[in-house]
Structure 1
Amino acid sequence: MQPFKGIAFKITAIALFSVMAALIKATADDVPAGQAVFFRSFFALFVIFVWLLQRGEMPQGLRVTNAMGHVWRGVIGTTSMGMNFAALGLLPLPEVTAIGFAAPLMTVIFASMFLSEEVRAFRLTAVGIGLVGVCVVLWPRLTIFDADQASAVATIGVMLVLGSALFRALAQIHIRKLVQTDQTSAIVFYFSLTASCLSLLTLPFGWVIPTWEQAALLVTAGLIGGVAQIMLTSCYRFAPASVVAPFDYVAMLFAIVIGYVWFSEIPTPQMLVGAAIVISAGILIIWRERQLGLERGKARPGITPQG
């Protein structure tokens, strides 16, 4: 094991995913979320394909024993990604990132419901604390009956991020089943392939012809997303999940910096307090799962911050 190398890979992956989200956000006013999902997934396929060739994992790395499992993982993950991309057009980047941290909390709950994993008082308390933090972040946005149209739009954005987090947590549970029979390389590749195909179903709902600048941003987002996925997968070759998992939360720092520099977004004190509460709860859960020997490392490489 080379823990420092694993941590470096993880932080690089999170930084790239943050840049990718910013690129998607930069086009969100004009490009529908479904179309953004297509660019992000389709162009990532080329990077992943080359990576698998370079590692000598073609074609054996793409063999599967549960084809429908990959289809369902694709449906769940694509739904999460689409909702997340739609929310990026409605909310500041740091806020989307902070609320998205609800996904690991939901994963604990779903693990108990669907995997019969025993969840005791410590982790339930941590989940409760984390959900309080989520409420602190989103409370100013819960103004669905406000006459202000901007407030109503922001509330829709919050609902989209929460929906994305829910589906991402479901994807995490699904991947934990898939890794028992199939390789991570297959899970990563077929997710991008399935997402590319499923996103085409949104064509009748108003795809646009992007400008050259928008097309460049979207293609770059796809390529960066592919590289980030490879970095994320690679980090677990050098360090256990319990070591690198807490570094998921550096996404908040990247989101704050990128949001301020690129979009002139300044996070509110309330949002920062809520994010700190959620992050603290998430780290407590990771620590406790390490104590209990609950290793989720095999599943983590197969899921992105979008699903």
Structure 2
Amino acid sequence: MTTSVLSGVLLTIFSYFLFSLQDAAVKWLVVALPVWQILFVRSVTIFSICFMIGGKSLVGRAWRSPVLKPMFVRNILLLAAWLSYYTAARDLGLAELTTLYYASPILITILAVPILKEHVPPLRWIAVLVGFVGVMIATDPFGTGMKLSLPVWLALQAAVFWAISTVLLRKTALQEVTLVQMTISSGFFILFTGIAVAVDYVPPSLTDVALMAGTGLVAGVGQYALFEGMRRAPVSVLAPFEYSSLIWAFGLGFLIWGDIPASQVFVGAGLIFAAGMIIILGERFGRRPRAG
């Protein structure tokens, strides 16, 4: 595994830890505030940080960027994924929701072949499937007799939208610097969510404002890490590491809400870890030059 690919993997794992932390904060906030409002403050925070770092010239670069149109499409898909996911969350349990949503790494790997023209070796396919089996074991979704329904369809739809947006991110990441991409992304989200906030605004407390701003800070660092990871490694290499967020989610659930994972969670986590090791070892030894 090259230094670039390894750094891409580490950045991606770190980004999914931060996104899990963000999800925990959103779960806390969404009890009293609309999702639109949380996303709006989050996006304003990220945009402000980018502006402070890059100054006025950054906005001009973002406006003239060659990835402006693809980023617009990506953010539409990302917003659709969020809406589908949170709508499904009203009716599905965490186990069902998580497993359906984690179909996305498989879809990302599949889409990387025709869209990004990536060569996906058998070991990467094995890693994706091993990770998905780990999620299935950890969450035990079918113990409740899940049937195809609108919430199930919405969760699968969220996975599809997220997969396509991730593949698009790899394409744009190779054409533009991370700070410009973050500026464009947060700017679009401010526009999209600002309209809804104007219609459905709930006065937040100072604690809520601070938590929303903190969520934006965490999400901003997570975005930067994810974008940089996508710049440094093929998306089919990084896809299985999205499963690591399940481990972070259960860990944060224990620390914040005192949720104690069942025994199958540890078995599933072991398989998820194994999926990551398959990728790392496959990249490390699969690229060795042959003797002679």
Do both share a fold (TM > 0.5)?
Answer: yes
Q: Distance in 2 between matches of 1:210 and 1:5?
A: 39
**Aligned amino acid, residue 262 of structure 2:** T
Corresponding residue for residue 26 of structure 1:
28
Q: Distance in 2 between matches of 1:13 and 1:277?
A: 20
Q: Does 1:254 align with 2:254?
A: no
Corresponding residue for residue 71 of structure 1:
72
Corresponding residue for residue 274 of structure 1:
268
Larger mean Cα displacement after TM superposition, 103-112 or 178-187: 178-187
Structure 2 vs 1, CA of residues 41 and 292 (structure 1 numbering), >3 Å: closer, same or farther? farther
Counterpart secondary structure, 2:217: helix
Corresponding residue for residue 47 of structure 1:
49
Shift of residue 174, structure 1, vs aligned partner: 1.0
The RMSD of aligned alpha carbons is 4.2
CA contact (8 A) 1:63 1:186 kept: no
Q: Distance in 2 between matches of 1:53 and 1:4?
A: 31
CA contact (8 A) 1:99 1:134 kept: no
Structure 2 vs 1, CA of residues 61 and 93 (structure 1 numbering), >3 Å: closer, same or farther? same
Corresponding residue for residue 219 of structure 2:
225
CA contact (8 A) 2:4 2:233 kept: no
Counterpart secondary structure, 2:76: helix
Q: Does 1:143 align with 2:146?
A: yes
CA contact (8 A) 1:16 1:228 kept: yes
Structure 2 segments unaligned to the other structure (5+ residues): 288-292
Shift of residue 108, structure 1, vs aligned partner: 0.5
Structure 2 vs 1, CA of residues 6 and 264 (structure 1 numbering), >3 Å: closer, same or farther? same
Structure 1 segments unaligned to the other structure (5+ residues): 146-151, 294-307
Corresponding residue for residue 193 of structure 1:
187
Structure 2 vs 1, CA of residues 18 and 120 (structure 1 numbering), >3 Å: closer, same or farther? closer
Q: Distance in 2 between matches of 1:278 and 1:99?
A: 16
Shift of residue 133, structure 1, vs aligned partner: 3.4
Q: Distance in 2 between matches of 1:92 and 1:218?
A: 25
Q: Does 1:183 align with 2:169?
A: no
Aligned identity (percent) is 26
Shift of residue 225, structure 1, vs aligned partner: 1.6
Structure 2 vs 1, CA of residues 204 and 2 (structure 1 numbering), >3 Å: closer, same or farther? closer
TM-score computed with the length of structure 1 as normaliser: 0.69
Structure 2 vs 1, CA of residues 15 and 116 (structure 1 numbering), >3 Å: closer, same or farther? closer
Shift of residue 282, structure 1, vs aligned partner: 4.9
- Residues 244-272 of structure 1: per-residue CA shift (max 9 Å, x gap): 95876654443233211212222233344
Larger mean Cα displacement after TM superposition, 258-267 or 275-284: 275-284
**Aligned amino acid, residue 46 of structure 1:** S
- Residues 70-105 of structure 1: per-residue CA shift (max 9 Å, x gap): 210111122234445566777788987776554332
Q: Distance in 2 between matches of 1:58 and 1:206?
A: 28
Q: Does 1:109 align with 2:110?
A: yes
**Aligned amino acid, residue 106 of structure 2:** L
Corresponding residue for residue 305 of structure 1:
none
Q: Distance in 1 between matches of 2:45 and 2:117?
A: 37
Q: Distance in 1 between matches of 2:15 and 2:58?
A: 21
Q: Distance in 1 between matches of 2:284 and 2:77?
A: 27
Corresponding residue for residue 16 of structure 1:
18
